[in-house]
Amino acid sequence: MAEQPESTGAALAAETDAVILVGGQGTRLRPLTVSTPKPMLPTAGYPFLSHLLARIAAAGMRHVVLGTSYKAEVFERYFGDGAEFGLEIEYVVEEEALGTGGGIRNVYDKLRYDTAMVFNGDVLSGADLGAILDTHHAGGADVTLHLVRVPDPRAFGSVPTDADGRVLAFLEKTEDPPTDQINAGCYVFKREVIERIPAGRVVSVEREVFPGLLSDGALVLGHVDSSYWRDMGRPSDFVQGSSDLVRGIAYSPLLEGRTGESLVDPSAGVAGGVILMGGTAVGRGSVIGAGSRIDDSVLFDGVTVEPGAVVRNSIIASGATIGANVRIQDCVIGEGARIGARCELQGGMRVWPGVEIPDSGVRFSPDA
Distance CA 98, CA 23 (A): 9
What pLDDT sits at residue 27?
84
| Cβ 20 vs Cβ 121: under 8 Å | yes
Q: Give the chain's end-to-end CA distance (angstroms, integer).
A: 40
Residues constituting the chain: 368
What pLDDT sits at residue 11?
79
Averaged pLDDT, 61-88: 92
What is the CB neighbour count within 10 angstroms for residue 56?
Answer: 25
Domain with CATH 3.90.550.10 in the chain: 10-247
Averaged pLDDT, 235-249: 97
Q: Is pLDDT at 7 greater than 60 in this prediction?
A: no
Domain with CATH 2.160.10.10 in the chain: 261-364
3-state secondary structure of 49: helix
Distance CA 17, CA 118 (A): 8
How do residues 255-310 score in pLDDT, each as one tens digit? 999 999 999 999 999 999 999 999 999 999 999 999 999 999 999 999 999 999 99
| Cβ 309 vs Cβ 303: under 8 Å | no
Q: Is pLDDT at 67 greater than 70 in this prediction?
A: yes
pTM exceeding 0.85: yes
Averaged pLDDT, 97-117: 94
Task: Report whether CATH 2.160.10.10 matches the domain 261-364.
Answer: yes
Q: Are strands 115-120 and 293-295 parallel, antiparallel or unpaired?
A: unpaired
The CATH superfamily label for domain 10-247 reads Spore Coat Polysaccharide Biosynthesis Protein SpsA; Chain A (3.90.550.10)
